[in-house]
Amino acid sequence: MNDILNINNLCKDYKDFKLDNVRFSIEPGTVMGLIGQNGAGKTTIIRLIMNMIDRTDGKITVCGFDNIADEIAVKNKIGYVSDECYLFYNSTLAKTAQACALAYENWDKEKFSKLIKMWDLPEKKKISAFSKGMQTKAMLAIALSHKPQLLILDEPTAGLDPVARIEILDILREFVADGERSVLFSTHITGDLDKIADVITLIIDGKIRESMSIDLIEDKYAVISGANDKLTRDNEKYTIGIRKTNAGFEALVLRENLGKFNGVSVRNPNVENLLTFSIWQNRKELAV
Amino acid sequence: MTKAEKNRLKLLEKVTKMQGVYGMSLISRILIPVTVLLIDIMLLFAAAEDDELYMILPFHIFFATIFIGTMSYIATSYISNIQTLTSNNTAAMGIGGSMNGSDFLSTLPFHAKDVIYMRVKNFQIQLFTAIGTTIIVQILCMLAGNKGYTMHCGFGGATVIVLVIYELIMMSTLYMKKPVPVMLTTAAAAAFPVVSIMGMASFADDHEKSAEFAAAVEFLEVFAEVPGMIFLAVCGVAIAFAAKKIADSKQNVSWNLR
């Protein structure tokens, strides 16, 4: 089956940052969680997919279409929600919908009306007067109403109340349920990804560290914890990120290396563990 | 350009207008400098009738500074947009410095180059409106017949020259796809007060002088000398840098997001 999104050798050079040979793909019917610390390159990847910034090198295809050569076709296939509201603040939702109806090939007016009614979004009120949650819902309503194949969400649930967050996660689940559409979901709220993501892509300092099925995280990694005397110079090098306190240590390790540690507790990692320990490991490597 | 491309561009223009980009830009970017300029000129009219130009000199400098600052802000934010466009980004440049909304256009199914074209066009409309207004005001000054008003030709002439220079720099940058050297912008900004005050001083020199007026002229003439001009040039550079800093601080927030 053809990938919904395919990114190959993607590079972007800034003065103080480099996105380095990023490659990953999203299969139909999949929710991919893009995780990484602030400034790791998540939004750069998303803006490159949207052709909002120039890439230095590489190739991006959406449903087989090149995102630059076939930009119009690609943008018709993408629904985009950003962390900051990108809609015209001085405009109203009604006017924005009119503009979208003109621009998109498959604009579904009825679906848009249904969504804004469900979320109690006022059509005639200026978008600048919307709360953060309302702005996110407005962007999502627009993103869903032109029947995209790929939904790209950049930190959509940050700043939302729990009910709105759960509602949005339900919508994403529904969106991929037919197995033909996909979601790329960048977030810091890793709990959301535990709930809905099928695949996790971890990016650190512009490089992809891991891109794998969420189910395989537990097969590949483990979190160990114990007293500090259980940690030796020999076995510490097998940790992938470690957190030490006076009370003891906690570390992420490959399951295949569990035998190097004696007398420690072992538990399954979640997405947050993968993220935080990988960041600590990266800091340690940079310090060396 | 094919018919389909032309239609797409028309559609983009319609979408842009529908979103109220022109209205927002006109209010924030044109009305302020034009209003300030008009207040300044009304003051000059009133003062020149009584040969008491020196009385309003501080106000004139104040208003002229706001005018120059606003125009510099417009021009530098525009240049920043194009610099970013040419060095890093394609579509991620603001309309009138506003990132809200400019990103919206980039998400819609249009070519990035067309979105850029539309944004540049929007900015050009603002700049040319400012230039046009200035020219009209200057013609009115000259038609008024009083010798006191003609000195404002220096002021208006300088405005037009500076704006045209800005425009040329921006356009050449866009087509050459190279970032604009900041010094070119600052030099253009510096030229403005120099020419303006020189024009004022040359008028004052010909005028029948009262003692106070002569003192004002003497003061003004300092700026027509080399050290005074250097001082003004430095002030112009400072204004341009400050304007660029403001423009950058507002826009880099979005541009540098990863």
- pLDDT for res A217: 93
At the topology level of CATH, where does A5-205 sit?
A: Rossmann fold (3.40.50)
The predicted-structure confidence for B2-23, as pLDDT tens digits, reads as follows 777 778 777 777 777 665 544 4
**pLDDT above 90: residue A15:** no
- CA B175 to chain A, closest CA, distance in angstroms equals 17
**CA nearest A38: which of A17, A69, A11?**
A17
Q: Are strands A5-13 and A18-26 parallel, antiparallel or unpaired?
A: antiparallel
**pLDDT above 80: residue B152:** no
Partners of B22 on chain A (C-beta within 8 Å) are: none
- pLDDT for res B63: 66
Q: Is B194:B248 a contact under the CB 8 Å cutoff? A: no
- What ranges in chain A are assigned the alpha helix state H? 42-49, 71-77, 93-103, 109-118, 132-144, 162-176, 190-196, 214-220, 233-236, 271-287
pLDDT category at B93 given cuts 50, 70, 90 is very low
pLDDT category at B233 given cuts 50, 70, 90 is low
Mean pLDDT of A259-270: 93
The residue of chain A nearest to residue B254, with distances taken between CA atoms, is: A84
Q: What is the DSSP letter of B181?
A: P
Of A179-188, A197-206, B178-187, B229-238, minimum mean pLDDT range: B178-187
Q: Is A120 exposed, middle or buried (0-12, 13-18, 19+ CB in 10 A)?
A: exposed
Partners of B23 on chain A (C-beta within 8 Å) are: 90
Measured between alpha carbons, how far is A245 from A260 in angstroms, rounded to an integer? Answer: 21
Partners of A54 on chain B (C-beta within 8 Å) are: 88-90
End-to-end CA distance of chain A: 44
Among B14, B21, B103, the residue with its CB nearest the CB of A86 is: B103
The predicted-structure confidence for A130-158, as pLDDT tens digits, reads as follows 988 899 999 999 999 999 999 999 988 77
Mean pLDDT of B91-106: 48
Contact A72 B14 (CB under 8 A): no
Partners of A19 on chain B (C-beta within 8 Å) are: 258
- pLDDT for res B7: 80
pLDDT category at B46 given cuts 50, 70, 90 is low
Across chain A, what does the average pLDDT equal? 91
The predicted-structure confidence for B55-89, as pLDDT tens digits, reads as follows 666 666 666 666 666 665 565 555 555 544 444 34
A residues 29-58 lying closer than 8 A (beta carbon) to B: 39-44, 47, 50-54
Task: Name the interface residues of B facing A (CB cutoff 8 Å).
Answer: 8, 11-12, 14-15, 18-21, 23-24, 88-92, 100-101, 103-104, 106-112, 254, 256-258
Among B19, B92, B254, the residue with its CB nearest the CB of A95 is: B19
Q: Domains of chain A: which residue ranges?
A: 5-205, 219-287
- Tell me what ipTM this predicted complex has: 0.84
- Pick the residue with more confidence: A258 or A85? A258
Among B12, B100, B258, the residue with its CB nearest the CB of A89 is: B100
**pLDDT above 70: residue A42:** yes
Q: Which residues of B173-206 are buried (b: 16+ CB within 10 A; e: fewer)?
A: bbeeeebbebebbbbbbbbbbbbbbbbbbbbbee
A-B Cβ pairs (cutoff 8 Å, strict): 105
Cα A127 to Cα A107, A141, A165, A251, distances in angstroms? 20, 13, 20, 46
Contact A40 B18 (CB under 8 A): no
* Both structure tokens of A4: 């919904």
The predicted-structure confidence for A224-235, as pLDDT tens digits, reads as follows 999 999 988 889
**What pTM did the predictor assign?**
0.71
